[in-house]
Amino acid sequence: MRALTVVPLKANSAEVTEMPDPQPRDGELLVDGIAIGVCGTDIEIVGGEYGWAPPGEERLVLGHESLGRVREAPAGSDFSEGDLVVGVVRRPDPVPCLPCSRGEFDMCRNGRYTERGIKEIHGYGSEKWTVEADYAVKLDASLESVGMLMEPTTILAKAWDHITRIGSRSPFEPERVLITGAGPIGLLGAMLGKQRGLDVHVLDRVTDGPKPKLVEDLGGTYHSGDMASAVGHCKPDIIIEATGVGQLVFDAMQETNAGGITCLTGVSPTGRELKVDAGSINRELVLENDVVFGSVNANLRHYKAAAEALAKADRSWLERLVTRRVPLDRFQEALERQPDDVKVVIELGS
Ligand code: BGC
């Protein structure tokens, strides 16, 4: 079978490699890969900035935003041949730390977790793959063309789960959310905000292309100015920061309503210095009981929540998030960003 592989930490080493077909072990599903989504982490891995091959191997199979169709399922599992399925990205650390021992591997405390397609385990970017039935999640059969949006949706399902848990420290009935960044993470965060009945605002740089309309069609308000104009006189109760742009990150923490929650989801490049008024940020956070927290990855609870959120989302809106579909042998095109890209997908069956 063919797989999209890289030598981690070696820039531009990505290639389509011929590999032996995977053999499912006890308790594993054998899956025909349909597609993978490409995200910033994949671009970083291909650029030689991130990623780890499995121990003893040179190359890593890329792909953590998976979608496939079950070919073989172990007897007695919840899966049958033909089911649409997504594989979970992270596996708990072997120690395990306390959160990993309780199924919250997304909160791993010692960093010894592994991740498919990123850290020490092969990803899902191959024509066939296997996955433990316990780390696979079934998707509604109608999601075949958009199911690779599941993994990024889990990131937001976790963000919203933690926002709700943090909010419950005192009576909290949020009305307004501002999302910074209208990429896939921002737009899926906006979708989940709408599903929670909130007044949703999204801030991004662009004034044309698909993003403004995607926000409007969700029933949200699109802003393309600076943070101050997006916030106006009515401060949000929640901000989900999905750009990783330093200035916006610091602006975001100062722009919530009292008791506000800012969730940071963007991974920024390092080494860029910024001048900030640390005293006024501290003052604002303390005097308003504000919370700023970071959020990465997702556990099975979030995969299930994301599967439900996608099942009830408008299919044609989800379809419009996938702005390019590229066959595996032309994967290079998928790795080169184009101005109107939202989510770019590599098709594995072609
Ligand atoms: C993935 C997460 C992962 C993180 C760090 C992100 O792109 O969506 O699942 O934990 O990268 O490796």
Q: For residue 17, what pLDDT is reported? A: 98
Q: Residue 214: which of 200, 233, 226, 227 has the closest Cα?
A: 200
Tell me: do 12 and 135 sit in the same domain.
yes
Domain CATH number, residue 252? 3.40.50.720
Q: How confident is the model at residue 337 (pLDDT cuts 50, 70, 90)?
A: very high
Does residue 274 have a pLDDT over 80? yes
53-62, 245-254, 318-327: the lowest-pLDDT one = 245-254
Domain limits at 37?
2-139+314-347
Q: Residue 6 Cα, ligand 1 centroid: separation in angstroms?
A: 17
**Ligand 1 center–CA 296 separation, angstroms:** 6
Q: Which of 88, 115, 156 to mutate to test the pocket of ligand 1 (most atoms within 8 A of CB)?
A: 115
Convert the pLDDT of each residue in 206-235 to its tens digit: 999 999 999 999 999 999 988 988 888 789
Flag whether 308 is in a domain: no
- pLDDT above 80 (res 350): no
Does ligand 1 lie within 6 Å of residue 296's CB atom?
A: yes
Tens digits of residue pLDDT in 139-196: 999 999 999 999 999 999 999 999 999 999 999 999 999 999 999 999 999 999 999 9
Question: How far is 66 from 125, CA to CA, in rounded Å?
Answer: 8
Residues 332, 273 within the same domain: no
What average pLDDT does range 326-340 have in this prediction? Answer: 96
Confidence of residue 268 (pLDDT cuts 50, 70, 90): confident
Residue at 203 is within a domain: yes
The answer to whether residues 10 and 49 belong to one domain is: yes
Are 92 and 27 in contact, with CB atoms under 8 Å apart?
no
The CB of 39 under 6 Å from ligand 1? The reply is yes
Q: How much distance in Å is there from the Cα of 201 to the middle of ligand 1?
A: 25
Between the CA of 106 and the centroid of ligand 1 the distance, in Å, is 10
**Which among 49, 86, 89 is the best mutation to test ligand 1's pocket, defined by most ligand atoms within 8 Å of the CB?**
89
Q: Whose CA is nearest to atom 4 of ligand 1?
A: 297
Q: 104 is written with which tokens? A: 């919250």
Ligand 1 atom at minimal distance to the Cα of residue 155: 8
- Flag whether pLDDT at 78 surpasses 70: yes
Task: Give how many domains the chain has, as a whole number.
Answer: 2
Letter for the amino acid at 232? G
CATH label of the domain that carries residue 326: 3.90.180.10
In a domain, 132, yes or no: yes
Q: What DSSP letter does each residue of 67-115 carry, written as one string?
A: EEEEEE--TTSS--TT-EEEE-SEE--SS--HHHHTT-GGG-SSS--EE
Residue 264 scores a pLDDT above 80:
yes
Same-domain check for residues 45 and 122: yes
Domain-embedded: residue 232 = yes
pLDDT at res. 55: 98
Q: What is the pLDDT of residue 99?
A: 98
Structure tokens of 38? 């490409």
pLDDT at 137 (0 to 100):
98
> What does residue 230 show for φ and ψ, rounded to 5 degrees?
-70, -35
Average pLDDT, the chain: 97
Across 66-90, average pLDDT: 97
Residues 105 and 27 in one domain: yes
216 and 249 fall within a common domain = yes
> What separation in Å is there between the alpha carbon of 229 and the centre of ligand 1?
31
**Are residues 122 and 232 both part of a single domain?**
no
